[in-house]
């Protein structure tokens, strides 16, 4: 025991030196020496003892049925494990209970918790735990600094009901949290929470990998990116896609769903939203006194949590996102709730009708429009006949086309014409574009939906029609630009070609 203490003290010194050297602030408390077991008063000593059931995400332990306090024993094991952060991307996660977020802990207000933090012998580093549910120094961190192959014990009484984040608070703290050391502990109020049909556990956290998003191989923690708060990954439940496809959370039409949602951080807050659902109740900041009703998006701070409850009325796939949306679509903060059951077409009909809409062209039949068209045709004919105007050079057309491109197309196809993986197809060296010029003109005029394969990759999205937005000349110019940029080469597209295809619908 003596040797353990000296070993621990040495590690503690190292830890505080690290803190001082690398962070210059000391948010974490230094570890304290073991004081021996607490002598519990007889009333508490007499309480029934039970071992807490811990679950890994997205699962939650059963609601607590008992209506009296207990002495609850929590055994939480720290493991440092290599796991999958994204397809082809590995990461050495530091975990509470082998998962990110760590095991869900569920206790009741008034419970006296005997907490054991067990650091697996294979760990390389000491760790501790700060539970935001604890009233006491460091939230337990000062009592749980635990070397690899050691176990720490401390006791606390759960005085405040609510949903609380726990996390490692060993220096450098942002690195320990940034490697996945966070989770949730629910302290149920004395009378329990309102009954629901399904409960799920979701936490958001960001990963500061040395490589950029999707860069393959084993990635490590990048302290400079963490300090700048520039995470390549912001994810739910520890990995890109952890709640997608057959790993989606599920419910049936008519059921009520409760999501225990927390943010581990270490830095980034979340604008938590479920696309196509309205939260019937939100417990802001996970305080239980006041549910807000009918909320669309709720803000969850780093190191904070919320509880959202909603009834699912219709079937479908409902997307969980951080509504700071590049995080969802470009960094991983996206999950799915799959709801099955009968449709209710009054609540949500689905697409009812898909009809052609011609916008301004619908007026083409009117007399004044006809007159205008005739005049335009006369001007066009006169322009064509005038060699000075007709020989508007290809370079000028490309330049004019560039203006159109940079004002419109670049938003999706990108300034470099390379598009965006899985979202917008490339125009640079696009086999689809180069194979059929009439078809390309048609795509820009009429738009394009449904599956399309460009350079061997499938896209299934929607390109908005431009016929009401751009003139024939502008479309000719922009396509001339596209056909003569980023390595593409081709003849100019003429206004007459565009006009012919625009008139196809008539
Ligand atoms: C709002 C986003 C968006 C804008 C703006 C947009 N496109 Fe597209 N474009 C798409 C999508 C998405 C597709 C693929 C549609 C599908 O999956 O069916 C596409 C497909 C295409 C294609 C055929 C596929 C290929 O890669 O060759 C061409 C050509 C094209 N767009 C050109 C343009 C031009 C020129 C403009 C500007 C006038 C433009 N797009 C503006 C989203 C957009
Ligand atoms: Cu740690």
Q: What is the DSSP string of 220-282?
A: -B-HHHHHHT--SEEEETTSTTTTSGGGSEEEETT-EEEEEEEEEESS--EEEEEET--EEEE
Q: What is the spatial distance between Cα 167 and Cα 140, in angstroms, rounded to a whole number?
A: 10
Query: Residue 230 C-alpha to ligand 2 middle, in angstroms?
Result: 21
Query: Residue 26 C-alpha to ligand 2 middle, in angstroms?
Result: 15
| Predicted pLDDT at 368 | 64
Q: What is the spatial distance between Cα 141 and Cα 127, in angstroms, rounded to a whole number?
A: 9
Q: What is the spatial distance between Cα 181 and Cα 171, in angstroms, rounded to a whole number?
A: 12
Q: Indicate where the chain has its CATH 2.60.40.420 domain(s).
A: 2-190, 203-340
Q: Indicate where the chain has its CATH 1.10.760.10 domain(s).
A: 392-505
Query: Residue 306 C-alpha to ligand 2 middle, in angstroms?
Result: 24
To test the pocket of ligand 1, the residue of 402, 408, 431, 443 to mutate (highest count of ligand atoms within 8 Å of its CB) is 443
Q: What is the spatial distance between Cα 469 and Cα 30, in angstroms, rounded to a whole number?
A: 65
Q: Which atom of ligand 1 is nearest to the CA of 432?
A: 27
24: helix, strand or coil = coil
| Predicted pLDDT at 153 | 96
Query: Residue 432 C-alpha to ligand 1 middle, in angstroms?
Result: 11
Residue with CA at minimum distance from ligand 1 atom 10: 463
Do residues 146 and 116 touch, judged by C-beta distance below 8 A?
no
Instruction: Decide if domain 392-505 falls under CATH 1.10.760.10.
Output: yes
Residue with CA at minimum distance from ligand 1 atom 11: 463
Token pair belonging to 17? 């030196």
Smallest CA-to-CA distance from 338 within 398, 252, 261, 411 is with 252
Query: Residue 362 C-alpha to ligand 1 middle, in angstroms?
Result: 24
Fold of 203-340: Immunoglobulin-like (2.60.40)
Residues 391-406 as b or e (16 or more Cβ within 10 Å = b): eeeeeebbebbbebbe
CATH number of the domain located at residue range(s) 2-190 in this protein: 2.60.40.420
| Predicted pLDDT at 251 | 98
Residue 386's Cβ-count burial label (10 Å; 0-12, 13-18, 19+) is: exposed
| Predicted pLDDT at 5 | 41
Q: Which atom of ligand 1 is nearest to the CA of 404?
A: 38
Using only C-alpha atoms, what is the Rg of the chain?
A: 30
Q: What is the spatial distance between Cα 203 and Cα 102, in angstroms, rounded to a whole number?
A: 10
To test the pocket of ligand 1, the residue of 412, 441, 470 to mutate (highest count of ligand atoms within 8 Å of its CB) is 412
pLDDT by position in tens, the chain (length 506): 334 444 444 444 444 444 433 333 334 445 567 888 999 999 999 999 999 999 999 999 999 999 999 999 999 999 999 999 999 999 999 999 999 999 999 999 999 999 999 999 999 999 999 999 999 999 999 999 999 999 999 999 999 999 999 999 999 999 999 999 999 999 999 999 999 999 999 999 999 999 999 999 999 999 999 999 999 999 999 999 999 999 999 999 999 999 999 999 999 999 999 999 999 999 999 999 989 999 999 999 999 999 999 999 999 999 999 999 999 999 999 999 999 999 998 899 888 887 777 666 555 556 666 766 777 677 667 666 666 555 567 788 888 898 889 888 888 898 899 998 888 999 999 999 999 999 999 999 999 988 999 999 999 888 888 888 888 999 999 999 999 999 999 889 999 999 999 988 65
Q: What is the DSSP string of 26-83?
A: --SPPP----------HHHHTSPEEEPP-B-TT--PPPP--SS--EEEEEEEEEEEEE
What predicted TM-score, i.e. pTM, was given to this entire model? 0.66
| Predicted pLDDT at 194 | 96
Give the up-direction half-sphere exposure of residue 18: CA atoms within 13 A in the CB hemisphere: 18
| Predicted pLDDT at 154 | 96
Cis peptide before 172 (omega within 30 of 0): yes
Structure letter (DSSP) for residue 479: H
Token pair belonging to 293? 């009703």
Q: Give the binding-site residues of ligand 1, using a 6 Å CB cut-off.
A: 408-409, 411-413, 424-427, 430, 432-433, 440, 443-444, 448-450, 452, 454, 459-464, 466, 478, 482
Q: What is the spatial distance between Cα 117 and Cα 74, in angstroms, rounded to a whole number?
A: 8
| Predicted pLDDT at 409 | 84
Q: What is the spatial distance between Cα 344 and Cα 149, in angstroms, rounded to a whole number?
A: 56
């Amino acid at each position: 025991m003596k040797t353990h203490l000296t070993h621990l003290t040495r590690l503690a010194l190292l830890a505080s030196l690290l803190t001082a050297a690398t962070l210059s602030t000391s948010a974490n408390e230094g570890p304290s020496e073991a004081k021996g077991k607490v002598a519990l008063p007889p009333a508490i000593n007499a309480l029934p003892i039970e071992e807490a059931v811990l679950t890994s995400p997205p699962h939650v332990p059963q609601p607590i049925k008992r209506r009296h306090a207990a002495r609850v024993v929590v055994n939480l094991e720290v493991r440092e494990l290599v796991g999958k952060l994204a397809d082809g991307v590995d990461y050495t996660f530091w975990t509470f209970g082998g998962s990110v977020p760590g095991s869900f802990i569920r206790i009741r207000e008034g419970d006296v918790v005997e907490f054991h933090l067990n650091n697996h012998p294979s760990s390389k580093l000491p760790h501790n735990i700060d539970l935001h549910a604890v009233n006491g120094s460091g939230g337990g961190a000062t009592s749980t600094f635990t070397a690899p192959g050691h176990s720490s014990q401390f006791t606390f009484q759960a005085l405040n009901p609510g949903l609380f984040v726990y996390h490692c608070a060993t220096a450098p703290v942002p690195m320990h949290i940034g490697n996945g050391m966070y989770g949730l502990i629910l302290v149920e109020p004395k009378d329990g929470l309102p009954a629901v049909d399904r409960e799920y556990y979701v936490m958001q956290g960001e990963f500061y990998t040395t490589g950029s998003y999707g860069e393959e191989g084993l990635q490590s923690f990048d302290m400079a990116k963490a300090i700048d708060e520039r995470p390549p990954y912001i994810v739910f439940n520890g990995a890109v896609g952890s709640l997608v496809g057959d790993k989606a959370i599920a419910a049936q039409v008519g059921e009520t769903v409760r999501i225990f949602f927390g943010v581990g951080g270490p830095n980034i807050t979340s604008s938590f939203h479920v696309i196509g659902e309205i939260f019937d109740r939100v417990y802001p900041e996970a305080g239980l006194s006041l549910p807000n009703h009918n909320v669309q998006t709720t803000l969850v701070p780093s190191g904070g949590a919320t509880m959202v409850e909603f009834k699912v009325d219709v079937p479908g796939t409902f997307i969980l996102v951080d509504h700071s949306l590049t995080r969802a679509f470009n960094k991983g903060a996206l999950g799915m709730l799959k709801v099955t059951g009968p449709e209710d077409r009054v609540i949500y009909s689905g697409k009812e009708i898909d009809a052609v809409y011609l916008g301004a062209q619908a007026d083409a039949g009117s007399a004044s429009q006809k007159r205008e068209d005739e005049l335009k045709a006369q001007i066009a004919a006169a322009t064509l006949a005038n060699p000075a105007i007709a020989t508007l050079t290809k370079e000028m057309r490309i330049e004019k086309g560039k203006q159109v491109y940079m004002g419109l197309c670049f938003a999706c196809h990108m300034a470099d014409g390379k598009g965006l993986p899985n979202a917008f197809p490339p125009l640079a060296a696009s086999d689809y574009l180069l194979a059929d010029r009439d078809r390309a003109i048609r795509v820009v005029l009429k738009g394009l939906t449904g599956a399309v394969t460009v350079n061997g990759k499938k896209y299934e999205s929607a390109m908005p029609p431009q016929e009401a937005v751009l003139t024939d000349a502008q479309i000719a110019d922009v396509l001339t630009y596209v056909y003569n940029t980023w390595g593409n080469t081709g003849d100019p597209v003429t206004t007459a070609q565009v006009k012919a295809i625009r008139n196809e619908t008539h």
